[in-house]
Amino acid sequence: MNAEHSLYRATANELPDFPELNDSLDVDVTIIGGGLTGISAALELAEQGYSVVLLEAEQPGWGASGRSGGQIIVGAGENGAALQRQLGPQLAKQVFDTSVVGIQWMRQRIQQHQIQCDFQAGQMEAAIRPSHMAHLQHSAEQLDRFGYPVQLLDAADTASKTGSTAFAGSLFDPNGGHLHPLNYTLGLTQAAQHAGAQIFGHSRVTAIQYGSRVVVKTATAEVRSRWLVIAANAYLDQLVPELGKQAIPVGSYICSTEPVPESVLPANCAVFDTRNLFNYFRKDAAGRMIWGGRVGLTNKPPVNLKTKLHRRMAAVYPQLKETPFTREWGGFVSVTRHRTPSIGKLTVNGKPQGNVLYAHGYSGHGMVMAAVGGVTLAQAIRGQAEQLDVLSKIPCAPLPNNGVLHNVGLAAAMLYFSVRDALG
Ligand SMILES: Cc1cc2nc3c(=O)[nH]c(=O)nc-3n(C[C@H](O)[C@H](O)[C@H](O)COP(=O)(O)OP(=O)(O)OC[C@H]3O[C@@H](n4cnc5c(N)ncnc54)[C@H](O)[C@@H]3O)c2cc1C
């Protein structure tokens, strides 16, 4: 299910058509993928005088970055408590801090480049059952220890922000928020282009030749460079099998309404709930409800998507029972086993490729972390590898990412999580 019919395309500031690359080029850095990872790396490098070519198979913003729920969520794929369990206190804090800096980077770039993307502060995780409040309380304490205070709200305060009595309470982050993801991505793309990056659309990379000068090939051209950044995330396919083993693409789907009454989500914050297969929702600048979630056991386009997501929206907002969804779209999230990103230097057939860097597997938290990934890789190329040293310590266990095994594994995981969600 692609982005053609998304609300974001219908409300984009403009939809530029970047041309196909038809020449052979020789540059400092080649970047594969025109989402937030690739674009933020391109912007940071071009500003520092590096010659940069970004090759995008479709158009910048075509992938997850231009279709997402637009929620700006602190953390690196897991919340404070789970991150700490997985990484230990010191690394968890260092990784978490990169996401805080990532939000600052995003806000600063929006201001600096005057990107019209409707940024709105305020984001919450809402508990669907009283028993889930202990988890939120634990997360709040952990975030406090990280020096990142959030507000633990009871049911009444949550209802006054959401306009719904469906929640037992919530964790509210005034520093998080939401935005128009396509306009944000395209705004950064324009900034990268102004800084000197050469950006090409309709230019799918079909082969990579590794070496001290890397060569990437498209159907009509090739680019040689000192450095290669792989930023194709869930759309990588089989181009780099080594990365395909680290993360699997998982479909996520969104529907939107026409403007809803003010009383629905009056605080205008972004919300996701405490289900394993969570609902996520927010209003856009015109007051349309944007409702997302995971539907179905496999990655096949879901049948009756609108009906299924509508049932979930009406359970939270009964007053929207008669408000139809007018648009639907979806895309792929790249999910790692532990739901934390994988960022580092590539090894191919056991041989480290020191000049090939990658960042992916943001597991649904990429609106902030993809930019962190891109900026981190750009810094490393510029000789400042401190942040890459931190992020590349995140362990990444392999996953079955080929045909049958992937589908069976995904269906089993989805079934398991739906049963757990149903049981509470
Ligand atoms: C429906 C949905 C909702 C989401 N909601 C949220 C949210 O609310 N908050 C949040 O934090 N995260 C969310 N995410 C996740 C977030 O959008 C992603 O993690 C993030 O955008 C990833 O950025 P990226 O640049 O790494 O990848 P993408 O934006 O996917 O970009 C990768 C690009 O690489 C290109 N590409 C692939 N292969 C090639 C090739 N061979 N040659 C050239 N180009 C290639 C693709 O065409 C694509 O444009 C959501 C994702 C989806 C799909």
User: CATH code at 47?
Assistant: 3.50.50.60
Protein residue with its CA nearest to atom 33 in ligand 1: 33
> Is the model's pLDDT at 368 over the cut of 70?
yes
Quick check: is 294 in a domain? yes
Alpha carbons 398 and 197: distance in angstroms, whole number? 34
Task: Evaluate whether residue 100 is within a structural domain.
Answer: yes
Q: What is the mean pLDDT of residues 374-397?
A: 96
Grouping H, G, I as helix, E, B as strand and the rest as coil, residue 118 is coil
Phi, psi for 63 (deg, rounded to 5): -80, -150
In a domain, 410, yes or no: no
Task: For 112-132, write each residue's pLDDT tens digit.
Answer: 999 999 999 999 999 999 999
Mean pLDDT confidence for 337-363: 95
Can you give the residue range of the structural domain that contains 126? 7-391
CA of 60, closest atom in ligand 1? 49
Q: Tell whether 424 is covered by a domain.
A: no
pLDDT tens sequence across 68-117: 999 999 998 766 667 778 888 899 999 999 999 999 999 999 999 999 99
Residue closest by Cα to atom 41 of ligand 1: 205
Answer yes or no: are the C-beta atoms of 38 and 374 closer than 8 Å.
Answer: yes
Ligand 1 mean position to 338 CA, how many Å?
Answer: 18
Residue among 367, 368, 369 to mutate when testing ligand 1 (max atoms within 8 A of CB): 367
Contacts of 250 (CB under 8 A, 6+ apart): 234, 294, 299, 332, 333, 334, 335, 410
* pLDDT for position 403: 60
Ligand 1 probe mutation, 7, 58, 68, most atoms within 8 A of CB: 68
Ligand 1 atom 11, closest CA = 365
Residue 124 lies in a domain: yes
Top mutation candidate among 200, 233, 309 for ligand 1, by most atoms within 8 Å of CB = 233
Provide Rg for the chain, Cα atoms: 21
Q: Rounded mean pLDDT of 134-149?
A: 92
- Output the CA 224–ligand 1 centroid distance in Å: 25
Return the SS3 of 1. coil
- Are 208 and 215 a contacting pair, CB within 8 Å? yes
Average pLDDT over the chain, rounded to an integer: 93
10 Å Cβ neighbour count for 132?
Answer: 20
Query: What local confidence, expressed as pLDDT, does residue 410 receive?
Result: 64
* Nearest 10 degrees: Cα torsion 185, 91, 87, 376: 30
Identify each DSSP E strand in 111-246 by its residue range: 120-127, 151-154, 169-178, 198-200, 207-209, 214-217, 222-230
Q: Is residue 423 part of a domain?
A: no
Cβ neighbors of 211 (< 8 A, separation 6 or more) are none
Nearest-atom index, ligand 1, CA of 270:
8
Cα–Cα–Cα angle for 91, 138, 417, rounded to 5 degrees: 90
Atom 32 of ligand 1, nearest CA residue: 232
C-alpha of residue 395 to centroid of ligand 1, in Å:
21
Q: Is residue 148 part of a domain?
A: yes
Nearest CA among 65, 326, 6 for reference residue 184: 65
Structural domain count of the chain: 1
Kindly state whether residue 408 falls inside one of the protein's structural domains. Answer: no
Tell me the pLDDT band of 303, cut-offs 50, 70 and 90: confident
C-alpha 369: how far from chain center:
7
Question: What global pTM score does this model have?
Answer: 0.96
202 CA to centre of ligand 1 in angstroms = 16
Q: What percent of the chain has pLDDT over 90?
A: 82
Ligand 1 pocket at CB < 6 A: 32-38, 55-58, 62-65, 67-71, 73, 204-205, 231-236, 239, 252, 254, 280, 292, 330-333, 360, 362, 364-368, 370
- How does residue 147 score in pLDDT terms, banded at 50, 70 and 90? very high
